[in-house]
């Protein structure tokens, strides 16, 4: 559904939920380059996150990589022209309509909006090696290895979900132990 100007804010419950991934394992391609507000639901149709973007498809891809288990359904409201105040008003209305703040807009906000920090998933052996590293170069190499391991784990989860999207992580961030899409 598309809104043009300062039209009435649609109720979240009035919008049709669409699968996050279609039968072919693809995200809704019609949302590429679209400006809009989106609500993401888990496999039990519980609201997990409400966001807005200048390119909804790009944002959905990021969320899928960051929180694959929480991305099963979505509702979207697109608008013709970028208007931050309108986007924020829709997001606020949907969160209010939900009755409680979704975890992704509250306690888990960083998990939805920030690059993945591979350091949080270091094994005890990796933590020891990092702490005992003699210099920053050694630490950087270790972080890159950890990031690659976490990346492989994410890709395996996405493959198990049947995702057929091209997923490319930014190689420059791996040296800092961060994973984010390119």
Q: Are 70 and 44 in contact (CB under 8 A)?
A: no
Q: Is the pLDDT of residue 5 over 70?
A: no
For the chain, what are the domain ranges? 2-113, 116-179
pTM given for the model: 0.90
How confident is the model at residue 163, as a pLDDT?
96
Q: With CA atoms as reference, report the closest residue to 76 among 24, 165, 25, 14.
A: 14
Q: What is the CATH number of domain 2-113?
A: 3.40.1440
pLDDT of 101 over the 90 cut: yes
What's the chain's average pLDDT? 93
Give the per-residue pLDDT at 22.
96
Average pLDDT of span 100-106: 97
Given a cut of 80, is residue 1 above it in pLDDT? Answer: no
Q: What average pLDDT does the segment 116-141 reach?
A: 94
DSSP string, 122-145: --HHHHHHHHT-SSHHHHHHHHHH
pLDDT tier at 129, thresholds 50, 70, 90 = very high
| Residue 129, C-beta contacts closer than 8 angstroms, at least 6 positions apart | 142
What is the distance of C-alpha 11 from the center of its chain? 23
Residues 52-94: tens digit of each pLDDT: 999 999 999 999 999 999 999 999 999 988 889 999 999 999 9
Query: pLDDT at residue 23 above 60?
Result: yes
């Amino acid at each position: 559904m598309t809104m043009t100007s300062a039209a009435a804010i649609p109720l979240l419950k009035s919008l049709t939920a669409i699968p996050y991934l279609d039968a072919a394992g693809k995200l809704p391609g019609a949302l590429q380059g679209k400006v809009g507000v989106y609500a993401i639901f888990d496999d039990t149709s519980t609201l997990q996150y409400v966001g807005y973007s200048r390119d909804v498809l790009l944002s959905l891809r990021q969320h899928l990589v960051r929180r694959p288990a929480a991305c099963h359904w979505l509702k979207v409201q697109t608008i013709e022209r970028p208007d931050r105040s309108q986007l924020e008003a829709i997001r606020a209305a949907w969160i209010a309509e939900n009755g409680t703040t979704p975890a992704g807009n509250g306690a888990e906000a960083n998990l939805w909006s920030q690059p993945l920090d591979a350091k949080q998933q270091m094994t005890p052996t990796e933590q020891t090696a990092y702490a005992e590293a003699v210099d920053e170069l050694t630490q950087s190499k270790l972080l890159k290895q950890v990031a690659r391991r976490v990346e492989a784990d994410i890709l395996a989860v996405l493959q198990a979900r049947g995702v057929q999207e091209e997923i490319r992580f930014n190689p420059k961030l791996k040296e800092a132990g961060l994973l984010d899409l390119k």
